[in-house]
A and B are shown apart, each in its own frame.
Chain A
Amino acid sequence: MIRFENVSVTYADAPAPALRNVELTVPEGELMLLVGPSGVGKSTLLGAVAGLVPHFTGGVLRGRVTVGGRDTRDHKPRELADLVGTVGQDPLAHFVTDTVEDELAYGMESLGLAPEVMRRRVEETLDLLGLAELRDRPIATLSGGQRQRVAIGSVLTPHPRVLVLDEPTSALDPAAAEEVLAVLQRLVHDLGTTVLMAEHRLERVVQYADRVALLRAPGEPVLTGPPAEVMAVSPVHPPVVGLARLAGWEPPPLTVRDARRRAAPLRDRLAGRAPAPVALPAAAVPVPAVDAGGTAREGRFGALLSRLRPDRRNGPAESEPGPTESVSGAGAGGGAGADVVSARGLAVRHGRVEALRGVDLTVRPGETVALMGRNGAGKSTLLGALTGMVTPAAGRVLVGGLVPHRTPPRQLVRRVGLVPQEPRDLLFAATVGAECAAADADAGAAPGSCRELVTRLLPGVPDEAHPRDLSEGQRLALALALVLTGRPPLLLLDEPTRGLDYAAKARLVEVLRGLAAEGHAIVLATHDVELAAELAHRVVILADGEVVADGPTPEVVVSSPAFAPQVAKVLAPGPWLTVAQVEAAL
């Protein structure tokens, strides 16, 4: 169905080709998964299927790409539209019309299908993707997961024989991701659609793939084969495969179910051991040590503030008691006053929608908290309230003893730092060097301290590069460094692993563990259960703006099928969460 014959793609101004001599054949009705570290040309390969590379991106394509017998050299993307459906990484960039139903119909209208056919297919697709309630909704009002499903639906309606998806589940919560994957599986099984997709979150998708194509490094030949065989040698692999390598299962199982059936001996071996979860010692050791340092700093700062406050705040006296009281509490050091975050009965409204209702949250220094919950549950809003970008409608929130939305940004940046979902938003300057210099000036830090942080987080980020030209991982490292320049005791990350490959994720985990050990409190809003399992001491689950679970990671996560990591599912009822824990115990 899809054939790449000796394909090389070179973009203009690029020193090396993005793809070199790719040979790949995807037979009809197959679900092929494209894996590999970021920057190996996965998106280029996907774009070439729909003809967007090189018709839209520019560059030179050598060799031949044929889809359903049509050569992309002679066929523009629009002439392949009846054959290939493409959904890119950002669903928002995909939408042409303004309501869900029109969006589903747009592709069919372009192809000139009969009105009755269009009508029927729109209804079918609405049901298939569970979008019936949203049919009249303007697209701008949808949540991330809903948008992703509308985007997939909009390319499904013309019944393309080939579906090309670039990270279809990265932005989705686990349940929504499973729904999307179930739909894809159904298309492959029932309609014989050929699916080619790239995805970093292998733990979600690899069991659905018929074959896997591995791009190991830029310019290396594509290795294709059955998932188990490829996973056995792949540098990127889901945790269940990591567990299999550890336990020596050959070939590695890809699903939790298969792994569980083979895991009985492993469970027996582990049964006797006292489960030594890494989370607890990591939390227990540094907290007291750094607590003192942290409070000392807080104390001086707090004392300074409480001295400044009365004469600075004489005018608006209404908020007086709250902040000062708890600032002095922090200054006194020790007890409950040392909480980095304390929120009580926090409520936030966006217009008429109650985004948060009665949320209580406390975070201590050195603690890592994962905020989880489905798309639109209020995670980002909570982070916004902690950084003062959102004004609460009721309740109170204190960050480092200050009320965030009443604190000037310059002061707040030393208390709390947020890396937003799109780290790119933080970057304004034209070069990495200028960005770092600006961050030093903003935070009043010694010149060069931000640059030092960047090098520490991720070596090899060139000083003169444009922030937009960096890879996802590099950009995240830069944004993290910018935020950390202010040495905030509280660090917030919104969906940090989106678009990161396993290597970049592992580096991020290491960095965040280091920061937590230094006494930084970290709050992560994430859909990535594996990340939460590796990092978080505590998991807080939000649903419809309310906290529905709050407790130590093993307790919360193991009991929930949606939020349990693969290792926990395989080794349940044992409290094991990550491969590293098991490795350490064996």
Chain B
Amino acid sequence: MSRFPHRSGRPPRTRTPSEWRTPADSGAPAESRTPAGSRTPAVTSVPAGAALPGGLRAPRASRANALHAGAWWLWALGLAVAASRTTNPLLLGLLVGVAGYVVAARRTDAPWARSYGAFLKLGLAVLVLRLAFSVVLGSPIPGTHPLVTLPEVPLPEWSRGIRIGGRVTAEQLLFALYDGARLAALLICVGAANALASPARLLKSLPGALYEAGVAVVVALTFAPNLVADVVRLRTARRLRGRPSGGVRAVLQIGLPVLEDALERSVAVAAAMDARGYGRTAPVPAAVRRATTALTLGGLFGVCVGVFGLLTAGGGAWGPPLLAAGALAALAGLRLGGRRSARTRYRPDRWGVRAWLVAGSGLLVGGLMVVWDQPALHPGVLPLVAPELPLWPALSVLPGLLPAFVAPAPEAPSAPEAPSAPEAGPRTPPAPESESGRRPENGSGKESR
């Protein structure tokens, strides 16, 4: 023992209280505590809670109070339903604004949270594409306000009904804009859910029998980002060989090594997963196994036949009960099947009050929008009128903001800003300390010598 500096136990004990603090704290400790509160970062980090008294403020997000991923998805789906019920650009803008505000207030720095930007771009692309199609291919909307007349491509007789080029009217463009905006808003709502809840966490809530399949899906999902990272890495490597990193030839030359890497990595991950017990099964009596198979297969068969009965004429009497029985049997099969897997769950997300509030607020928005089915939700384009903001539907979008106040606030978005941006100038001396506070794991090793 003497030849070995017994240091392993020390990192936790030698850590000073300041090192235990979170990055956000150590980044701007003085500012957030001074009563004056003159520095902005501490205030902007909790934008929603700043106005509330301390007790009502949303807590700092941590693993323990993490919101159930399903709550975020329900909230986003509620907003998406609302978006699908209207083409009023003002309401759609309001919905996107609400979703965007919540994302800005509550997303973390995790890689999946960055997908929101991608979804925004996708929505914009959909909008532009919709407009372009309308301009190029024309539209069935009759209009009286021609804007431009494009040269029309003469098409043969058999393709009547399709038009390329020709007159572009204001009505047609407006209609396309409304339509595209609705689709874009839908996408952005889905993007918000993606940014706020890790997809992997959602899969953790799957029933036991499906968990293994869920893990396989998650691993497959990480394949795409890894592939992108590989491509970037190999493109820079191409630069090192003195070749231009763009162009079709570059992609073709990189393609094979990238796929080879991906294959190698998947085999390695599979080996690691197996070595860590993925796919272990508990011994299950043969009778239970047989019952599981019978219930699952029988249940699925019942569901199929039930659906068939529902859809065919005259099957109304026996369809629904059969469907219900089939669904029940399949669920029982899944539940029994769960017995085969011996896994347990580590800290599953709990569905608490905050989850109810978040999910409820989204569903409320969706529900209210379904209820207010008034003409103002679909502003006409014939004749051309400016869309007006209907009061009650607009007010009913606002509950969607609730998550920005009740969901636990992540500290990550404010953390990197606090140490880097403001301290670059006058506060240079303390900066190294805050750095070592951020990564004490290596610092402590060195100091203890």
Q: Which residues of A contact B (CB under 8 A)?
A: 50-52, 55-57, 76-82, 84-86, 88, 90, 92-99, 101-102, 105-115, 118-119, 122, 127-128, 130-136, 138, 140-141, 145-146, 149, 154-155, 158, 173, 175-176, 178-179, 182-183, 185-186, 189, 207-208, 255, 257-258, 351-354, 374-376, 387-389, 408-410, 412-414, 417-418, 420, 425-428, 438-439, 442-443, 468, 482-483, 486, 544, 546, 561-562
State the Cβ distance, A410 to closest chain B Cβ, in Å.
Answer: 5
Interface of B is mostly: helix
Q: Which residue of A lies closest to B424 (CB)?
A: A354
Chain B residues 271-323 with CB under 8 Å of chain A are 271-280, 282
12 A-B pairs with CB atoms under 8 Å apart are: A55-B274, A78-B275, A96-B273, A98-B218, A99-B198, A101-B346, A112-B282, A115-B346, A352-B421, A389-B239, A409-B242, A443-B242
B277-A110 in contact (CB<8A): yes
B441 at the interface (CB under 8 A from A): yes
A111-B420 in contact (CB<8A): no
Cβ contacts B250-266/A at 8 Å (1 or 0 each): 00011011001000010
Q: Tell me whether A88 and B268 are in contact in the complex, defined as CB-CB below 8 angstroms, given that A98-B222, A115-B344 are known contacts.
A: yes
A113-B242 in contact (CB<8A): no
Q: Tell me whether A179 and B198 are in contact in the complex, defined as CB-CB below 8 angstroms, given that A56-B270, A105-B347, A136-B63 are known contacts.
A: no
| Additional 6 contacts, C-beta under 8 A, given A127-B11, A428-B253 | A97-B200, A98-B112, A112-B344, A186-B9, A351-B416, A425-B237
A96-B265 in contact (CB<8A): no
A81-B268 in contact (CB<8A): no
Chain B residues within an 8 Å CB radius of A258: 3
A78-B277 in contact (CB<8A): yes
Chain B residues within an 8 Å CB radius of A56: 267, 270-271, 274
State the Cβ distance, A114 to closest chain B Cβ, in Å.
Answer: 7
Chain B residues within an 8 Å CB radius of A207: 3-4
B260-A468 in contact (CB<8A): yes
B347-A119 in contact (CB<8A): yes
| Centre residue among B109, B219, B233, B278 by max chain A CB count within 10 A | B278
Chain A residues within an 8 Å CB radius of B424: 354
Chain A residues within an 8 Å CB radius of B347: 101, 105, 115, 118-119
Chain A residues within an 8 Å CB radius of B233: 425
A81-B276 in contact (CB<8A): yes
Nearest 4 A/B pairs, CB to CB: A413-B242, A110-B277, A81-B277, A105-B346
- Inter-chain CA distance A88–B268, complex, in Å, is 9
B244 at the interface (CB under 8 A from A): yes
State the Cβ distance, B61 to closest chain A Cβ, in Å.
Answer: 8
Q: Tell me whether A179 and B7 are in contact in the complex, defined as CB-CB below 8 angstroms, given that A96-B272, A98-B222 are known contacts.
A: yes
A110-B280 in contact (CB<8A): yes
Contact of B11 among A57, A130, A439, A483 (CB under 8 A): A130
Chain B residues within an 8 Å CB radius of A417: 240
B346-A77 in contact (CB<8A): no
Chain A residues within an 8 Å CB radius of B265: 92-93
- Inter-chain CA distance A374–B438, complex, in Å, is 14
Contact of A52 among B274, B282, B439 (CB under 8 A): B274
State the Cβ distance, A211 to closest chain B Cβ, in Å.
Answer: 16
Cβ contacts B322-364/A at 8 Å (1 or 0 each): 0000000000000000000011111100000000000000000
B39 at the interface (CB under 8 A from A): no
Q: Tell me whether A185 and B277 are in contact in the complex, defined as CB-CB below 8 angstroms, given that A112-B282, A179-B11, A352-B416 are known contacts.
A: no
B442 at the interface (CB under 8 A from A): yes
Chain B residues 409-449 with CB under 8 Å of chain A are 416-417, 420-421, 424, 432, 435-436, 438-442, 444-446, 449
B277-A186 in contact (CB<8A): no
Contact of B446 among A99, A146, A562 (CB under 8 A): A562
B7-A182 in contact (CB<8A): yes
B237-A420 in contact (CB<8A): yes
Contact of A93 among B268, B278, B435 (CB under 8 A): B268
Chain B residues within an 8 Å CB radius of A82: 277
Chain B residues within an 8 Å CB radius of A55: 274
B129 at the interface (CB under 8 A from A): no
Chain A residues within an 8 Å CB radius of B215: 96
Chain A residues within an 8 Å CB radius of B198: 98-99
Chain B residues within an 8 Å CB radius of A425: 233-234, 237
| Centre residue among B6, B245, B257, B267 by max chain A CB count within 10 A | B257
B234-A409 in contact (CB<8A): no
Q: Tell me whether A102 and B346 are in contact in the complex, defined as CB-CB below 8 angstroms, given that A185-B8, A352-B416, A428-B254 are known contacts.
A: yes
B241 at the interface (CB under 8 A from A): yes
B110 at the interface (CB under 8 A from A): yes
Chain A residues within an 8 Å CB radius of B238: 409, 428
Chain B residues within an 8 Å CB radius of A208: 4
B111 at the interface (CB under 8 A from A): yes
A109-B63 in contact (CB<8A): no
Chain B residues within an 8 Å CB radius of A468: 260
B243-A410 in contact (CB<8A): yes
Q: Tell me whether A185 and B4 are in contact in the complex, defined as CB-CB below 8 angstroms, given that A96-B269, A389-B239, A442-B242 are known contacts.
A: yes
A412-B8 in contact (CB<8A): no
- Inter-chain CA distance A57–B268, complex, in Å, is 10
Chain B residues within an 8 Å CB radius of A154: 276
B56 at the interface (CB under 8 A from A): no
B1 at the interface (CB under 8 A from A): yes
A176-B442 in contact (CB<8A): yes
Chain B residues within an 8 Å CB radius of A562: 446, 449
B241-A442 in contact (CB<8A): yes
A420-B200 in contact (CB<8A): no
Chain B residues within an 8 Å CB radius of A420: 237, 240
B40 at the interface (CB under 8 A from A): no
- Inter-chain CA distance A84–B275, complex, in Å, is 8
B268-A110 in contact (CB<8A): no
Chain A residues within an 8 Å CB radius of B375: none
Chain B residues within an 8 Å CB radius of A51: 275
- Inter-chain CA distance A140–B445, complex, in Å, is 23
- Inter-chain CA distance A92–B229, complex, in Å, is 13
A186-B8 in contact (CB<8A): yes
Contact of A353 among B241, B253, B280, B420 (CB under 8 A): B420
Q: Tell me whether A111 and B446 are in contact in the complex, defined as CB-CB below 8 angstroms, given that A133-B441, A182-B4 are known contacts.
A: no
Chain B residues within an 8 Å CB radius of A145: 441-442
B62 at the interface (CB under 8 A from A): yes
State the Cβ distance, B140 to closest chain A Cβ, in Å.
Answer: 47
Chain B residues within an 8 Å CB radius of A112: 280, 282, 342-344
B442-A78 in contact (CB<8A): no
B383 at the interface (CB under 8 A from A): no
Q: Tell me whether A428 and B257 are in contact in the complex, defined as CB-CB below 8 angstroms, given that A81-B276, A97-B200, A127-B12 are known contacts.
A: yes
B18 at the interface (CB under 8 A from A): no
Chain B residues within an 8 Å CB radius of A418: 240
B257-A111 in contact (CB<8A): no
B53 at the interface (CB under 8 A from A): no
- Inter-chain CA distance A64–B103, complex, in Å, is 57
Chain A residues within an 8 Å CB radius of B240: 387, 389, 409, 413, 417-418, 420, 426, 483
B236 at the interface (CB under 8 A from A): yes
- Inter-chain CA distance A428–B235, complex, in Å, is 11
- Inter-chain CA distance A175–B10, complex, in Å, is 14
Chain B residues within an 8 Å CB radius of A140: 111, 225
B344-A130 in contact (CB<8A): no
Chain B residues 1-29 with CB under 8 Å of chain A are 1, 3-9, 11-12, 23
Q: Which residue of B lies closest to A178 (CB)?
A: B445
Chain B residues 79-112 with CB under 8 Å of chain A are 109-112
Chain A residues within an 8 Å CB radius of B245: 409
Q: Which residue of B lies closest to A422 (CB)?
A: B233
B270-A111 in contact (CB<8A): no
Chain B residues within an 8 Å CB radius of A413: 240-242
B441-A93 in contact (CB<8A): no
Cβ contacts B365-405/A at 8 Å (1 or 0 each): 00000000000000000000000000000000000000000
Q: Which residue of A lies closest to B215 (CB)?
A: A96
B280-A78 in contact (CB<8A): yes
State the Cβ distance, A84 to closest chain B Cβ, in Å.
Answer: 7
